[in-house]
Amino acid sequence: MKCEHCTRKECSKKTKTDDQENASVEVPSPAQENGEKGEFHKLADAKIFLSDCLACDSCVTAEEGVQVSQQNAKDFFRVLNLNKKCDTSKHKVLAVSVCPHSLPYFAAKFSLSVPDASRRLCGFLKSLGVHYVFDMTIAADFSILESQKEFVRRYHQHSEEEPTLPIYVTLEDVFATT
């Protein structure tokens, strides 16, 4: 599996132990029960190996890896089904965050504008029984603004005697502000 932040198919930092190779999150789909297998359901049935997620250490820490394994589609659908069967006072609150990078995919897939795709995805999640849907676009915007402020601050502080640490900015950060 290709790392998210690498350009190579196999990351040189990827080391698999026996525990990591066997640690995976099965993502069952409701479509398995109905027998239908669309493109979305094929993707939803994929196995996510924790060793692949932790391969380059740039996006997921070990502690986050435990949380990732606890928050999977199987548990999500289990809680949705329990919420439908029990009293509303015993419901578990479900919150979903939607990252801005996923919305253009849905928009292109269903020939919608990005804002319309966002509204429809939110409505779909609410119809499933999700209590809160958070759009993470503003969080991404704040991250970009803070990166810009840090870059400008370091640029003005730069001196030959006291070099500042390097700052890493992705092309996405640069193009998002133009």
pTM score > 0.75 for this model?
no
d(CA 125, CA 123): 5
Amino acid at 76: F
Could you tell me if residue 129 is inside a domain?
Answer: no
Could you report the per-residue pLDDT of 89-109, keeping only the tens digit for each? 778 888 898 888 888 888 999
Q: Please tell me the number of Cα atoms within 13 Å of 70 on its side-chain side.
A: 6
CB 132 within 8 A of CB 94: yes
- Give the residue from 85, 103, 120 where a domain finishes: 85
Q: Alpha carbon of 78 to those of 29, 83, 147: distances in Å?
A: 12, 9, 39
What is the Cα 38 distance to its own chain's centre? 22
Could you tell me if residue 75 is inside a domain?
Answer: yes
What is the Cα 27 distance to its own chain's centre? 15
Minimum mean pLDDT range among 52-56, 65-69, 135-139: 52-56
Neighbours of 46 (CB within 10 A): 13
What is the Cα 126 distance to its own chain's centre? 19
Residues 144 and 80 in one domain: no
Amino acid at 140: A
The number of folded domains in the chain is: 2
- Give the residue from 85, 100, 125 where a domain finishes: 85
Could you tell me if residue 117 is inside a domain?
Answer: no
pLDDT value of position 29 = 45
pLDDT value of position 7 = 45
